[in-house]
Structure 1
Amino acid sequence: MADPEQAETVQTTVAPAKVEAPEPKKRVPRAKKAKAELSKPARKNGARPAPHTAEPPVAVRTTRKTYSGKERAQKLGEIEKAIAGGATMKSAVGQAGISEQTYYHWKKAAAPPSDSGDLRDLVALEEENKRLKNLLAERLRKENAELKKKLGLA
């Protein structure tokens, strides 16, 4: 067997104690509300809910409404008046019954091309420029002919 002296000098290693981590909390499923409860309107200021009637709720329009050019112009005019009166764009468009995107599309389509006036001005300037160049060329030809006569070259 082993020598007693050697047995005393051998150090024993002790494993550190395990640190226990807290277990994660278990999730408890929430109770689901019944669909009937979700459809009930909330009471405001203690007001009693309206009695249920046999009439079904108003159906939402599923088809697109197409407006004529005259109707579009009329709605655009209404919106412009509302905005001039101090209403916001969103509220004015909502009162007219169209979306903001539709308003911008209609406004863009209804606006006369703004560059047509600029284009007319540009064409008029080009014509005037051409006319002035022709006048200058005629005068230079005349002066050149007179100088040649004076110098005796022609």
Structure 2
Amino acid sequence: MAELKETETNQALTEVPVKEQTSDTKKNVLKPKKPTRQQARAVRTSSAKSGKPAPSAEAVVSPAVRAARKIYSEAEREQKLGQIEKQTVRGESIKAAVKNAGISEQTYYQWKKVAGKAPQSDELKDLVKLEEENARLKKLLADRLRKENAELKKKLGLG
């Protein structure tokens, strides 16, 4: 019996380091990451559209990796907005016109919103001043015509 207990404890002692070694080696070995549902769905849908077989999960690029963003100058933005406006006037849909311009719909609407808020050139200020002066002159003319009309009525004896 004593021999049996000694062999069991020896086995138990030898088993513990073995388990520790296997768990340590598992930590050091990197498992390939499984694609997320979105990545797998994107691979399936893109392969279904193109008719090509789906690439392996290793070939899927994570959504965190993106191409560098293109930063457009004000002139480029105005040019693209003008191009889209011309295409929509011709009867093309906004979606198609934006695609032809090479920007996203969200970008188009953001640019359009910013362009609407942007202060206009001096031409707009001049136009507002002209409208104000026009209104003032119309009032002056109306006053003079009323006075002349009243004088004519007095001369004719109608008033």
* TM-score where L is the length of structure 2: 0.41
CA radius of gyration, larger in:
1
* TM-score where L is the length of structure 1: 0.42
- Comparing both structures, which one devotes a greater share of its residues to helix? 2
